[in-house]
Amino acid sequence: MKANLLKLSPWLLALGLGSAQAAPDMVVVAYGGAGQKAQDAAIFQPFSAQDGSKLIQSEYNGEMARIKVMVDTGNVDWDLVMIEAPDLMRGCEEGMYERLDWAQIGRAEQLIPDAAQECGSAVLVWSVAIAYDKDKLAQAPASWSDFWDVQKIPGKRGLRKRAVYNLEFALMADGVKAEDVYKVLATPQGVDRAFAKLSELKPYIQWWEAGAQPAQWLSAGDVVMTSTYSGRIAVAAQEGSSLAVVWPGSLYGMDYWAIIKGSKHVDQAKRLIAFANQPDTQVRYVNAIPYGPTNTEAAAELDPKLANWVPTSKQNLEGALAMNVEFWVDHGDELEERFNAWASK
């Protein structure tokens, strides 16, 4: 243990050595699949080796209700969780997460805008886009309009079972330009328009809830197209699969690390966040699964061959839509409630 601790850099040592020995069983929760495998190899295992501490991994599908119950009851058995930006912002306001002291954690000045938050540190820049199997689909889709066109391309479509992402995609399928999506969605008429467009496609939708499902369904021929996290398709393609991504009309944003309020492993979690923000850590991670890095120094070190798969590459941002986090913080609860009622009919 002591030998490992001596390898720590001064800025990690500043976060405190004591809790590494006192609390070795921190629970880290992410979204599973290829993304978490990449995190394990690039972040979790190297961190544990350097920090001289242990962690336990678990996975979930982003259920905020479970975290809220932990905080409300004081029975906190998760520590560090990966969460979406709107859920981070709402949860921070509600006191569900520990505040981060960026002077203590460090490297905030190296991170891209909005990566360093009061209650969270961005893990990656993700993209949700259309994916299809080049070997199974003779005519490649080019847009969300094509995704909705079941006459032109017959068959089942995969969509995530949430309002977020789908309302944006529905409006783009209905002819709204990417730059105007949130202006339209900010009106009651725009929301009605998005749900009406979703209703057109509803008989052909197969809902996914876990990030690993879209690639599996495409490979099995269960769907002809699906929305998906681009990194999952990138890994499959790098392993020899014929899956491909349609970048125009993609939606991108960031997921964050957050420490659950009441965690008994706060110092260790902060050290892991600091470790994950180092340039060399992020380069390892992006090499394992091509999501966008949040450290600008890491971005400068990436192999140019990865550019085709990284969401923040210039060519992949053309025609893409940045998630409006404030919109989903303000309207997410009501829209998800309406979506759940609509989906259950």
**pLDDT by residue (tens digit) across 144-168?**
999 999 999 999 999 999 999 999 9
Give me the pLDDT at residue 138, please: 83
Give me the pLDDT at residue 213, please: 94
The model's pTM is: 0.82
- Residue 263 contacts residue 76 (beta carbons within 8 Å): yes
Segment 262-282 mean pLDDT: 97
15-29, 112-126, 171-185, 324-338: which has the minimum mean pLDDT? 15-29
- Residue 256 contacts residue 250 (beta carbons within 8 Å): no
Is residue 5 predicted with pLDDT exceeding 60?
Answer: no
Segment 177-187 mean pLDDT: 97
**d(Cα 292, Cα 235) in Å, to the nearest integer?**
14
Query: 10 Å Cβ neighbour count for 184?
Result: 18
DSSP bridge partners of 124? 255
Q: How far is CA 299 from CA 104, 123, 280, 287, 308, in A?
A: 23, 14, 10, 11, 14
Percent of the chain scoring above 90 in pLDDT: 83
Nearest to 167, CA basis, from 277, 2, 331? 331
Give me the pLDDT at residue 307, please: 82
Segment 217-244 mean pLDDT: 94
164-173, 294-303, 333-342: which has the minimum mean pLDDT? 294-303
Nearest to 268, CA basis, from 41, 69, 105, 91? 105
Return the half-sphere exposure (C-beta side, CA atoms, 13 A cut-off) of residue 85: 22
Q: What domains are there in the chain, each with its CATH number?
A: 2-125+254-308 (3.40.190.10), 127-252+315-343 (3.40.190.10)
